Structure 1
Amino acid sequence: MTGITGAEQELVELVRQRYASAASSVTAGGERAGCGGAEAESSGASCCGPEPVEVSETFGSTLYAATERDELPVAAVAASLGCGNPTAVAELRAGERVLDLGSGGGIDVLLSARRVGPTGFAYGVDMTDEMLDLARTNATQAGATNVEFVKGTIEDVPLPDAAVDVVISNCVINLSVDKPKVLAEMFRVLAPGGRIGISDVVAEDQLTPAERAERGSYVGCIAGALSRTEYLDGLARVGFVETSVEFTHQAADGMHAAIVRAVKPT
């Protein structure tokens, strides 16, 4: 990334370290103590595989349907750090080309690949080598052949203009230090008539940046969140139409997980 300050570069490195550590934690997981025992069998719990990195009512794999989680390698589910299920909100269709910004362990790319089918394709972009390695392993285990994970930043996506029909992202845009560039890149890589279906943390309009920072850290997806109006204005500024930001559940006081939708004009 160019044109960012020293303080912003420090935030980029903090985010990179946070997600590299999360990927390494999942990769180092393996079987957990007590797996396969009578207690696990009687409870119906699945205790094999790595521990989820983060699971709560706000973040993590519990935001996906059990039927979706059960379709995927346990490491892809364990590495889920998002605040929603963008593959559902984007209403993916067979044959579409999909791009996931900040694809992490690959859960949304793998789900997208299933939704778009063999005539479609799903790309994932991530800046963290550890997450890319994990995602590629998960794709191999899932037998997904219509996917590709590419190293890059969401501010400078390594895909050509009009390369995809849909852009998704799961609680990643709030981590960027140059959100206008991210929004512009989404518009650029979309084909005319393409759309975005994004899950992200969004602040209520009355909260100042300082008040957002009081409610949580930058790497925790809180301090860097845009407000609803900032999101809508930013999308319109780069050319999107039919924009909307819908709050779904609370992430912190005055801040919410949200569904963000918009369309690139034909």
Structure 2
Amino acid sequence: MKREDDIRANVRDNYAKVALKLNSTQGCCTPASSCCNPNDNQNISIEEISLKMGYTKEELESIPDGANMGLSCGNPQTIADLKPGEIVVDLGSGGGFDCFLAAPKVGREGQVIGIDMTPEMISKARCSAEKPGFENVEFRLGEIEHMPVADHTADIIISNCVINLSPNKQQVFKEAFRILKTGGRLAISDVVLTATLPESYLSDMNLYSGCISGAISIAEYEVLLKDAGFTNISIEPKDDSKELIREWEPNYDLENYIVSAIILAVK
């Protein structure tokens, strides 16, 4: 248990720093004057990261300033097939990026709930949600292993490069199954292992917070989803993501070990 708590504390601290770094002194909803990606790689901008992950310029221009923090490893919007009136839950919602993109797709009759365990992220996202047009979006502080959502609430769960960060993924999927309605869908982007990580990578807490050390294989992902009760499971690795993954930590050969994937499942 201590190991799990240590991991959560490290991840929470890391993303609190990201949220605070991207806030300016002029207002919580205003991005810093010169933002880079979370790993301080000056060679690629947040917009470039998002475009490479499959978002469009129109999508990026439609959300509140500062909501896109460059923390994606894919675009769950492309696989979610959101419909008007649906209730969406975003696991590890961060600054609210995918929540704000989902909001117009489910419309006024729908609802988008973002869950994040980092108070600084929740504050940032709530501030952005005050902008007109996002009245159907709310953000709740909580761990994705213990979601602050009632049973059988969600039509669909989305998530973007977050579940790898959990030290108890089986509990995440059990909770996801609990809050979904019968027939509800899971549509997430995450990183998966393509080869066994070196021991030195596994023991590096910074690499865990950087979405590396906590990644699991496709086979293990599928087993965890099945054990939670999900069916119609599809896990598709995206080999074209390796170029961007190489940029995450240029001093490591990460592209030899992990790849972004899109994961679909049904309750």
Q: Same fold (TM over 0.5)?
A: yes
2:50 maps to amino acid: S
Contact 2:84-2:105 at 8 Å conserved across structures: yes
CA distance in structure 1 between the partners assigned to 2:222 and 2:201 by the alignment: 18
Which residue matches 1:202? 192
Question: Which secondary structure state, in structure 1, belongs to the residue aligned with residue 35 of structure 2?
Answer: coil
Aligned counterpart in structure 2 of residue 187 of structure 1, from 153, 177, 189? 177
Task: Verify: 1:87 aligned to 2:87, yes or no.
Answer: no
Equivalent of residue 50 in structure 2, options 61, 79, 90? 61
Runs of 4 or more, structure 1, over 6 Å off, are none
CA distance in 2, matches of 1:211, 1:91: 40
Equivalent position of 2:208 in the other structure: 218
Structure number with bigger Rg: 1
How far did 1:80 drift?
Answer: 3.4
Q: Distance in 2 between matches of 1:135 and 1:236?
A: 33
Match of 2:22, SS state, is helix
Alpha carbon RMSD of aligned pairs, Å?
Answer: 2.5
Cα distance change of structure 1 residues 72 and 29 upon mapping to structure 2, 3 Å threshold: farther
Cα displacement (A) at 1:48: 8.3
Question: Could you state the TM-score of these two structures normalised by the residue count of structure 1?
Answer: 0.84
In structure 1, the gaps of 5 or more residues are 32-46
Counterpart secondary structure, 2:84: coil
Post-superposition CA distance 1:66-85 (Å, at most 9, x none)? 110001122102x2312111
| Distance in 2 separating the partners of 1:83 and 1:176 | 16
Partner SS, residue 156 of structure 1:
coil
- Amino acid paired to 1:66: K
Kept after mapping to 2: 8 A contact 1:50/1:75: no
Give the stretch that moved more between structures: 209-218 or 238-247.
209-218
Tell me the secondary structure at the aligned position of residue 211 of structure 2.
coil
Structure 1 residues 1-39: Cα deviation after superposition (integer angstroms, max 9, x where no partner): xxx2x22211111100111111111112669xxxxxxxx
Cα distance in 1 for partners of 2:71, 2:149 equals 24
Contact 2:24 2:32 in 1 (8 A): no
Matched, 1:128 2:118: yes
When residues 211 and 103 of structure 1 are mapped into structure 2, their CA distance, relative to the original with a 3 A threshold, is same
| 1:253 aligned onto 2:256 | yes
Partner of 1:9: 5
Q: 1:21 aligns with which of 14, 17, 42?
A: 17
Percent of aligned pairs with the same amino acid: 40
The 8 Å contact of residues 115 and 139 in structure 2, kept in 1 or not, is answered as: yes
Structure 2: gaps (5+ residues): 246-254
Amino acid at match of 1:141: K
SS at match of 1:160: coil
The aligned residue for residue 44 of structure 1 is: none
Matching of residue 72 in structure 1 with residue 63 in structure 2: yes
- Which of 24, 31, 35 aligns to 1:51? It is 35
Q: Give 1:137 deviation, angstroms.
A: 1.0
Residue 232 in structure 1 maps to residue 228 in structure 2: no
CA distance in 2, matches of 1:70, 1:240: 35
